[in-house]
């Protein structure tokens, strides 16, 4: 019997070469699953940067909760994603969460691989989603006088965005 004519089943071949063979169909749409806080009931995503928490620091969560209440929403209506924990790539996030509205807190559009940029406090519609870029939670949720102005600008945008 010649070694040149041995027939191996697919199961045996994959077991022998498990470190070298890749199933292209199985790996077609592999991307990181984003962990998020909330239930995403209104397909609204908040992307934040928090180095000291899995999702967001407690003081900022309180700020977000109050902001949502003012918009007649709650944390269950959104998906809050920490860009620091798992860097967001917009196409992958859209496949998982299907956001209709996305608010970037202190994150530039290029950071999530959007193909355009837009100024803070200006809504931007693109590819079935409305985007809003605002300052970071540290800037918004502080006691300095500038913070009050930033909060009022944010409130104007949120009233328009959520029709409140």
Contact 38, 79 (CB under 8 A): yes
pLDDT tens sequence across 24-36: 455 455 667 999 9
Give the whole-number percent of the chain exceeding pLDDT 90.
77
Please return the burial class of 133, using the count of CB atoms within 10 Å of its CB with bins 0-12, 13-18 and 19+. buried
Which CATH class name applies to 32-162?
A: alpha beta
How many angstroms separate the Cα of 46 from the Cα of each of 3, 12, 25, 104? 60, 47, 32, 6
Separation of alpha carbons 1 and 15, rounded Å: 23
Q: Please give the pLDDT value at position 16.
A: 64
pLDDT tens sequence across 68-118: 999 999 999 999 999 999 999 999 999 999 999 999 999 999 999 999 999
The pTM (predicted TM-score) of the whole model is 0.80
SS3 46: strand
């Amino acid at each position: 019997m010649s070694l040149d004519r041995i027939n191996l089943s697919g199961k045996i071949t994959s077991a022998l070469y498990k470190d070298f063979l890749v199933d292209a169909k199985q790996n077609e749409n592999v991307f990181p699953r984003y962990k998020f806080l909330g239930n995403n009931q209104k397909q609204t995503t908040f992307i934040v940067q928090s180095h000291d928490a899995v999702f967001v620091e407690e003081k900022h969560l309180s700020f977000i909760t109050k902001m949502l209440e003012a918009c007649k929403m709650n944390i269950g209506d959104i998906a809050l994603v920490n860009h620091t924990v798992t860097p967001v790539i917009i196409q992958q996030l859209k496949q998982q969460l299907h956001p209709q509205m996305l608010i970037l807190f202190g994150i530039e559009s290029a950071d999530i691989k959007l193909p355009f940029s837009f100024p803070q406090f200006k809504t931007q519609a693109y590819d079935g989603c409305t985007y809003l870029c605002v300052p970071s939670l540290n800037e918004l949720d502080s006691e300095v006088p500038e913070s009050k102005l930033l909060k009022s600008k944010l409130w104007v945008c949120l009233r328009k965005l959520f029709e409140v």
